[in-house]
Amino acid sequence: MQIKSARVIVTCPGRNFVTLKIEVEGGLTGIGDATLNGRELSVVSYLEDHVCPALIGKDARRIEDIWQFLYRGAYWRRGPVTMRAIAAVDVALWDIKAKAAKMPLYDLLGGKSRDRVMVYGHANGGDIDETVDAVGRYIEMGYKAIRAQTGIPGVKGAYGVGRGDLYYEPADAALPSETLWNTTSYLDYAPKLFEALRDRFGFDHHLLHDVHHRLTPIEAARLGKSLEPARLFWMEDCTPAENQEAFRLVRQHTVTPLAVGEIFNTIWDCKDLIGEQLIDYIRATIVGAGGVTGLRRIADYAAIYQVRTGCHGATDLSPVTLGTAVHFDSWVPNFGIQEYMRHTPETDAVFPHNYAFEDGYLLVGETPGHGVDIDEEEAAKYPYKPMQLPVARLEDGTMWNW
Ligand code: EZ4
Ligand code: CO
């Protein structure tokens, strides 16, 4: 089953997506997502200039060998660009293998461990009242788990606040927008949001919150402690995780469950976090961490330490990643939850798929492969648009973590 062609398709139905399409002799095709939000074209070049030519003629059945070839062969290991390129190849090859086997991908992975995949949606608002209303709308839509983010009065562009509708895209301009950050206001305001949410809705739903790398370890510990009465499902990215040891301090102080890893690329980024049981959920995802092959290694390692998965699933991960994740989540024994931000109707039209949302869960499709396709005519209607993620500064002008 030789690889005949490997092509990159870039489309922007509201936001940019990079997709790799591989075709093998005999005509089977598979697709993989290579989207790196705000730095898309670097992965396009990596694939087109360096990876695609080396794939031609290789046996598409040898997924593990091709993964090792691209990982070891780069010499410059890891990093978001390399690992997204590897993920795109890996997912396209799993898609092809499952189609050839006439199996949905979850079956090829070992079969279903569950019937449906619990997801969490994103509710946000300009202040506490708006956010409480937004959470109410998610509850009405059937969500069992909801991430809540609120704007902070006086802080311009606090993380996670949308622009008036249910869709939220942080990459909003050709050059980075400037936002402000104020830790004192945030640490005062955020716990009040969760108090208000529990007062209004009780404890029947899971609530989640994303700190988005903004706090120091001791501040994160304090927030975790002050959120304990709200019994969160998790507190995410409470402090930057380049230094995995930082989480020892947070862990010492709070029983609020911790989730980390949406920006991780390999098992090495989370080795100590998992091995020392410093986190409860690992957020690494298929497109970010080297495809099904890379993520499976992380998940199996995490299982030993009772760390569960919580795959990143923002809209900058294309329906190809989401669809593949639903297969992965259906199989993985130590599943926790799946992030789910609905894509726009334009995006859904470019990527026909067979996963479906029902009553707070995603249901996996039964067709062979990962169940997501790309309509190239539709994709061609939306040319690439430069869009970057925002940056954040403190009030005195100091650069901070966005
Ligand atoms: O801000 O994927 O948990 N979800 C997140 C995301 C990230 C975006 C960045 O591109 O933190 O919404
Ligand atoms: Co996040």
* Full residue range of the structural domain in which residue 51 is found: 3-104
Q: Which of 27, 38, 117 is nearest to 84 (CA)?
A: 38
Are residues 223 and 344 located together in one domain of the fold? yes
pLDDT tens for each residue of 363-382: 999 999 999 999 999 999 99
Q: Which atom of ligand 1 is nearest to the CA of 317?
A: 2
Are residues 211 and 336 located together in one domain of the fold? yes
pTM for this model (two decimals): 0.97
Are residues 206 and 64 located together in one domain of the fold? no
CATH value at residue 229: 3.20.20.120
CATH value at residue 62: 3.30.390.10
Q: Do residues 1 and 26 lie in contact, with contact meaning Cβ atoms separated by under 8 Å?
A: yes
User: Ligand 1 pocket test: which of 36, 119, 210, 388 has the largest number of ligand atoms within 8 Å of its C-beta?
Assistant: 210
Are residues 125 and 98 located together in one domain of the fold? no
**For residue 32, with 0-12 CB atoms within 10 Å meaning exposed, 13-18 middle and 19 or more buried, which class applies?**
buried
Q: Which atom of ligand 1 is nearest to the CA of 147?
A: 3
Domain assignment present for residue 377? The answer is no
The reply to whether ligand 1 has any atom less than 6 angstroms from the CB of 316 is yes
Distance CA 125, CA 387 (A): 23
Domain assignment present for residue 283? The answer is yes
Are residues 141 and 216 located together in one domain of the fold? yes
pLDDT tens for each residue of 271-312: 999 999 999 999 999 999 999 999 999 999 999 999 999 999
Please give the distance, rounded to the nearest whole angstrom, from the Cα atom of residue 264 to the centre of ligand 1.
12
The reply to whether ligand 1 has any atom less than 6 angstroms from the CB of 262 is yes
Distance CA 58, CA 110 (A): 25
Q: What is the pLDDT of residue 164?
A: 58
Are residues 230 and 350 located together in one domain of the fold? yes
What is the C-alpha radius of gyration for the chain, rounded to an integer number of angstroms? 20
Output the DSSP codes for 32-75.
EE---TT-HHHHHHIIIIIIHHHHTTSBTT-HHHHHHHHHHHTS
Phi-psi region of 198 (alpha: psi -120 to 50; beta: other; left: phi over 0): alpha
Q: What is the mean pLDDT of each run of 10 residues along the chain (402 residues)?
A: 98 98 98 98 98 98 98 96 98 98 98 98 96 97 98 86 72 94 97 98 98 98 98 98 97 98 97 98 98 98 98 97 98 98 96 98 98 98 97 96 96
Distance CA 132, CA 79 (A): 38
Q: Do residues 334 and 307 lie in contact, with contact meaning Cβ atoms separated by under 8 Å?
A: yes
The reply to whether ligand 1 has any atom less than 6 angstroms from the CB of 37 is yes
Length of the chain: 402
Ligand number nearest CA of 147 is 1
Nearest CA to ligand 1 atom 8: 314
Q: What is the pLDDT of residue 159?
A: 84
Q: How distant, in Å, are the alpha carbons of 28, 156, 193 from that of 187?
A: 53, 16, 11
Please give the distance, rounded to the nearest whole angstrom, from the Cα atom of residue 314 to the centre of ligand 1.
6
Of 104, 134, 165, the residue that ends a domain is 104
The type of residue at 290 is: G
Question: 84-113 in b/e burial notation, b at 16+ Cβ within 10 A?
Answer: bbbbbbbbbbbbbbbbbeebbbbbbbeeee
Ligand number nearest CA of 314 is 1
Of 104, 137, 161, the residue that ends a domain is 104
Are residues 122 and 224 located together in one domain of the fold? yes
Q: Could you give the number of structural domains in the chain? A: 2
Domain assignment present for residue 394? The answer is no
Are residues 86 and 185 located together in one domain of the fold? no
Q: What is the pLDDT of residue 167?
A: 67
